[in-house]
Amino acid sequence: MLPGFTALLKKTIRNLRGLLTFSACTINTIICFIPIFVLAIPKFLLPIRSLRALLNRWLMAIGEAWVDCNSFIFSLGNSTTFDIRGLEDLRKDQWYLVIANHQTWVDIVAMQTALNRRIPFLKFFIKQELMWFPFLGAAWWAMDMPFMKRYSKSYLAKHPEKKGRDLEATRNACQKFRDTPTSVINFVEGTRFTDEKRESRGSAYEHLLTPRAGGVALALSSMGEMFDAVLDITIVYPKGPIQFWDMMCGEFEHVIIDIEKRPVEEWLYKGNYESDREFRKQFHQWLMKIWEAKDRKLATMKGK
């Protein structure tokens, strides 16, 4: 058999496997989203606290089932070794702020697989404008994804009386989580890590981009007194970061997920990040120390 034909055949088989895996995940998503949309209707029309609490439990159960099914689908095509460290003392009835390094979209799949049913269903802060996105906006609302309202600097320059209103709106929106244990995740670097980005941004770290404190400060200011702990997650792919399509094609071999619980000290959510320069400086120093420790940990885990 000609080498060129053999290579083409292998590539075709690989992509067919990826297409089958992706199709199965898409079908699973559609099946799970239908009951989410159905449950969203009474949740919207009947704002009764006890009813909403019951619907929320059902919705989170659907979300967890969605993750379980996706994990099973991925396991059929991948022989992945999950090395998960620090699962001790994690509970589903507590509130967590999850911060993590970010290298690839597979990070989300890896964390969902590692943490599903061990902590409350992972949620992301989403811009309030996306609430009106067709179908997904309704699903995000039903799943209690925290929507954040942010005014631009140019808007605040024209409307100074609005300063602080966006944070207050986000804080009020998060009050619904008082009755429902919640995990909110923030990728602190703001984007996926690459060596090119590290160099272009002048990062002081070897394996990380400079952390962006604004999102973490917003989460802590909005929900800080609710959080039982910060879960500091470090993700490593021993053979290098794997891309989403590679995982679909069955090439997700090994991931290490290290979880470190950090306390939520009162000062972290009592200060005003937007207007208090000293607090902002102290907050940055707190986050930088975490990132320095994470960079050293990454070097050790990668064997460098």
Q: Evaluate whether residue 46 is within a structural domain.
A: no
Task: State the DSSP string of 30-77.
Answer: HHHHHHHHHHHHHHHH---HHHHHHHHHHHHHHHHHHHHHHHHHHHHH
Number of domains within the chain: 1
Rounded Cα gap, residues 39 and 126, in angstroms: 21
Rounded Cα gap, residues 100 and 148, in angstroms: 20
Asked if the model's pLDDT at residue 150 lies above 90, the reply is: no
Task: Please give the average per-residue pLDDT across 53-59, as a whole number.
Answer: 91
Whether the pTM exceeds 0.85: the reply is yes
Q: Evaluate whether residue 200 is within a structural domain.
A: yes
* b (16+ CB within 10 A) / e for 163-180: eeebbebbeebbeebeeb
Rounded Cα gap, residues 235 and 255, in angstroms: 7
The CATH number of the domain holding residue 285 is 3.40.1130
Which of 57-61, 132-136, 141-145 comes out lowest in average pLDDT?
132-136
Q: Evaluate whether residue 194 is within a structural domain.
A: yes
Rounded Cα gap, residues 210 and 252, in angstroms: 27
Asked if the model's pLDDT at residue 17 lies above 60, the reply is: yes
Task: Please give the average per-residue pLDDT across 45-54, as a whole number.
Answer: 86
pLDDT of residue 269: 92
Q: Evaluate whether residue 24 is within a structural domain.
A: no
**Which pLDDT band, with edges at 50, 70 and 90, does 157 fall under?**
low
Rounded Cα gap, residues 206 and 295, in angstroms: 7
Q: Across all residues in the chain, what is the average pLDDT? A: 89
**Which pLDDT band, with edges at 50, 70 and 90, does 303 fall under?**
confident
Answer for the pair 297, 257: CB distance below 8 angstroms, yes or no: no
Q: For residue 130, which of 111, 150, 116 has the smallest C-alpha distance?
A: 150
103: Cβ contacts below 8 Å, ≥ 6 apart:
192, 193, 235, 237, 241
pLDDT of residue 126: 80
Q: Evaluate whether residue 105 is within a structural domain.
A: yes
pLDDT of residue 145: 84
With both helix axes pointing from N to C terminus, report the angle between 3-45 and 49-77 in degrees, rounded to the nearest 10. 170
Q: Evaluate whether residue 186 is within a structural domain.
A: yes
Task: Please give the average per-residue pLDDT across 237-243, as a whole number.
Answer: 92
**Which pLDDT band, with edges at 50, 70 and 90, does 215 fall under?**
confident
Q: Residue 127 is part of which domain span?
A: 82-301
Most confident of 147-156, 158-167, 206-215: 206-215
Q: Evaluate whether residue 239 is within a structural domain.
A: yes
Asked if the model's pLDDT at residue 175 lies above 80, the reply is: no
Q: Evaluate whether residue 192 is within a structural domain.
A: yes
**Which pLDDT band, with edges at 50, 70 and 90, does 161 fall under?**
low
Rounded Cα gap, residues 255 and 118, in angstroms: 18
